[in-house]
Amino acid sequence: MLRLACVLFLAILPWSADAQNVNDNCGLSGNVTAIKDVPWIASVQHDNKHICIGTILNTKHILTASECLKSRKIPGLKVRVGNANRDSGLAMAVCKVLPHPNSVGQKGFGSNLALLTLCEPLTPSEEVKEIAIVDTEPDKDSKAEASVAGWGSLSWWRWIVKPCWTVSSAVLRKSNVQLMDVDKCASERKGWNWFSNPLATDLKVCTAKKEKYCSFDKGAPLVIDGKLAGILVLGDCDRKPDVFVSLFKHKTWLQANTKDT
């Protein structure tokens, strides 16, 4: 039944060869990967359901998109780490949520960030590691190696083919990506009012899509030369570029609020 649904899905939408290279052919981005390749990945969950992707900044702090936490109460929040399946792995309770002060009511969502403080610290291992934030602003013309990893979106395309997103989106994947100019990115995404504010564009990083496929879920980490450069806040199932919050622009806030306590 799952295979039939995915075949019908692919017949309707012209997925790329790269997208079809994944094991289940459900139009998701990237190739299946092991948790040891991206050990900083976390699943942010509420009431035992995945809501967004998180990134391990240190043993007590997980970074995600602030919009994922709207109307979510802390007692129901936890993160899962150390497993390629987002519904498995070690579950850690969250004791504090700190949205970026500019994330509420800001046109452009340029600071769409939130820090989760765990009740107990993580124990580092081959499957659970922190990742450092970039030291320099991402350069679209550099030859740096950029990649995005995570799980398939539950928010952008689940209404299309339910069997695909319920099963296939739980599998960890990784994609190599190419940075692109934020002005060109904004132009290609015109119509999204929050991205039309030119004053906010330097708070974002964009990556290009050469073909039509589905983005990762919100909060997915953009990694450049082994360091965290952004988290995904806008993507979909077409060729429009993916949009990330630039963490270089928020490094001072992140460092100030992730010190050992």
* pLDDT at residue 16 greater than cutoff 60: no
Spatial separation of the C-alpha atoms in residues 69 and 45, rounded to whole Å: 10
Range scoring the smallest mean pLDDT among 53-57, 150-154, 167-171, 184-188? 167-171
**Cβ within 8 Å of residue 70, ≥6 positions away:** none
Question: If you average pLDDT over residues 189-200, what whole number do you get?
Answer: 53
Amino acid 26: pLDDT: 66
* pLDDT at residue 142 greater than cutoff 90: no
Reported pTM: 0.84
Amino acid 7: pLDDT: 36
Range scoring the smallest mean pLDDT among 11-20, 69-78, 233-242? 11-20
Give the SS3 label for residue 67. Answer: helix
Q: Report CA-CA distances (Å) from 129 to 30, 33, 52, 121, 175.
A: 22, 16, 19, 12, 20
Closest C-alpha among 216, 58, 33 to residue 133: 58
Spatial separation of the C-alpha atoms in residues 40 and 36, rounded to whole Å: 9
What's the mean pLDDT when you consider all of the chain? 81
Which one-letter DSSP state was computed for residue 20? H
Question: If you average pLDDT over residues 80-103, what whole number do you get?
Answer: 93
Domains of the chain by start residue, with CATH:
2-33+133-249 (2.40.10.10), 39-130+251-256 (2.40.10.10)
pLDDT in tens, 204-257: 899 998 887 788 889 999 999 999 999 999 888 888 899 999 999 999 999 999
Is residue 161 within a helix (H) or strand (E), and if so which, with residue range?
A: none
Amino acid 199: pLDDT: 38
Range scoring the smallest mean pLDDT among 12-21, 144-153, 179-188? 12-21
